[in-house]
Structure 1
Amino acid sequence: MTFVLDGKTFETNEEGYLTDPSDWSIKIAEFMAYEDNCCLTENHWVVIHLIRDYYREHQVAQGIRLLVNQIGKNLGKDKANSRYLYRLFPEGPAKQACKYAGLPKPTGCI
C-alpha cells in the first residue's frame, strides 16, 4: 500500500505501518493520525518520542511496563498507568503509538 504526502510516495504494509522507518516525519505521523480520526496532542508526542528514542537505542519497541515507567518520569505519576496510554491510543498503546512513530508493529501485537 502507498500514500502520497507533499508530492512524495510512501509505502506501508497491509496494516498501515511504514515499510521504511527512516521515511518517518512529524507530518507523516500527523497524516496517519488524521486518517485514523485522531488528533495528536502534546502528550501523544511525548509518548511517540519516547518510543522512537528507545527504538533508536535498542532496535526493538519497549514493553508497556517500561513505557509506563517512562511516562511517569516525563508526565507525572498520575499518568503512569496503562489506562492513561489506552486513552491516548485506544487501538492499543504499543500498536497505535508505534504506527504513528513510524516503527514496525511490535511483536506480540494482534
Structure 2
Amino acid sequence: MALKTIAGTQVNVSEEGYLENMNEWNEDIAKEIASEVGIELTDKHFEVLNYLREKTEAGEALSIRKVGKSGITDIKGLYKLFPKGPLKFSAKIAGIPKPASCV
C-alpha cells in the first residue's frame, strides 16, 4: 500500500494504483485517474462508474458481460469508453478494487 496525492487528496493505493478505500473516491479523483490513462470522462463514463460502484458495494462480482447487460452500454460501447482495458480501467477510475476477472 502506498500513499498518493490524487486531485489534491491523499489516498492509499495498491501497488497497481487502485484505491484501497473506495470511500475516499470522488469525481475529481476519477477525472485525474482517467486523465492519467488518456480518457476524458463524459456523463456516460460516470453512469458506468456509478454502476460499478453500486455493484461492488452490493458485493457482486463484476464482469464485462454484466456491464454489457446493465442497460447503460453494450460491450462494444464499453470498449469505446475504456479502450485500453474496459473493466480494468473503469474499475480503477471508479475507485473500486481490481476485479478478479482482470489480469
Aligned pairs, number: 102
Q: Report deviation, 1:5.
A: 4.0
Deviations 1:11-48 (A, max 9, x none): 21121101111111111101111122211011111110
Runs of 4+ in 1 over 6 A off after TM superposition: none
Q: Quick check: 1:17–1:103 contact (8 Å CA) kept in 2?
A: yes
Aligned with 1:95 (options 62, 65, 88): 88
TM-score normalised according to structure 1 size = 0.81
TM-score normalised according to structure 2 size = 0.86
Q: Quick check: 2:7–2:32 contact (8 Å CA) kept in 1?
A: no
Structure 2: state its 5+ residue gaps: none
Tell me which protein shows more helix as a share of its residues.
1
In 1: Cα distance, 2:97 partner to 2:65 partner: 19
% identical aligned pairs: 33
Structure 1: state its 5+ residue gaps: none
Q: Which residue number in structure 2 is paired with residue 106 of structure 1?
A: 99
Q: Quick check: 2:11–2:24 contact (8 Å CA) kept in 1?
A: yes
Q: Which residue number in structure 1 is paired with residue 21 of structure 2?
A: 20
